[in-house]
Chains A and B, each alone.
Chain A
Amino acid sequence: DAGVTQSPTHLIKTRGQQVTLRCSPKSGHDTVSWYQQALGQGPQFIFQYYEEEERQRGNFPDRFSGHQFPNYSSELNVNALLLGDSALYLCASSLGSLAKNIQYFGAGTRLSVL
């Protein structure tokens, strides 16, 4: 049973470019959350998708957008990249959206913006 998979593993972009990160949830899971972990910080919540809709959003600008597909996989898009967007981006999946449900994390995508 595959866990949460993210692609790509690493990515290098330049300022102003756009990037798309992908996440496949654990088999049977229907909810996907995205987090950004900058150096020296804990993961910061970006947004959560359930039933193909964005259910909750953290304090991130509109440059960060996402999508969930009918097979529950998800994409995170970041437009007009800034140097400060360099971080590890984590995807987590769960069955249902309740806060007490365990979230299973992928290994992340390391984004470097030059």
Chain B
Amino acid sequence: ILNVEQSPQSLHVQEGDSTNFTCSFPSSNFYALHWYRWETAKSPEALFVMTLNGDEKKKGRISATLNTKEGYSYLYIKGSQPEDSATYLCAFRGGNTGFQKLVFGTGTRLLVSP
């Protein structure tokens, strides 16, 4: 059974703080790692799709790194704002076939206070 773990489970920071979360996944048979941002009562929104070891991706104040050899990815938020409050999900795809089966972690719930 594939296990994707995210930590911490929840996080409460003040506006302006920088923060980071961890996603751990199997280090063998890696294909892709997705990050999603999910605000309450909205649709999950794709942030990044990462496929190569050492990948670094950036979108505004949010960035992510990938280490497929040791099986982890970090998501960083620089200068958190209240609108960053959401659940951040990572999803792992292993195997060598083209069809998508994403295995999700349980998410990190971020609350940013003004």
A→B interface (CB under 8 Å): 3-4, 31, 33, 35, 40-45, 48, 50, 55-56, 58, 90, 94, 97-108
Contact = CB atoms under 8 A, between A and B. Distances in A.
Q: Main SS of chain B's interface residues? A: loop
5 contacts: A4-B43, A40-B106, A56-B100, A94-B100, A99-B32
Interface in B1-59: 4, 31-32, 34, 36, 41-46, 49, 51
Contacts of B114: none
Q: Main SS of chain A's interface residues? A: loop
Interface residues of B, number: 27
Given A102-B46, A103-B46, A106-B43, A45 B102 contact: yes
A17 to B, nearest CB: 26
Nearest to A59: B1
B106 A55 contact: no
B44 A58 contact: no
B24 to A, nearest CB: 13
Contacts of A104: 43, 46
B100 A42 contact: no
B64 interface: no
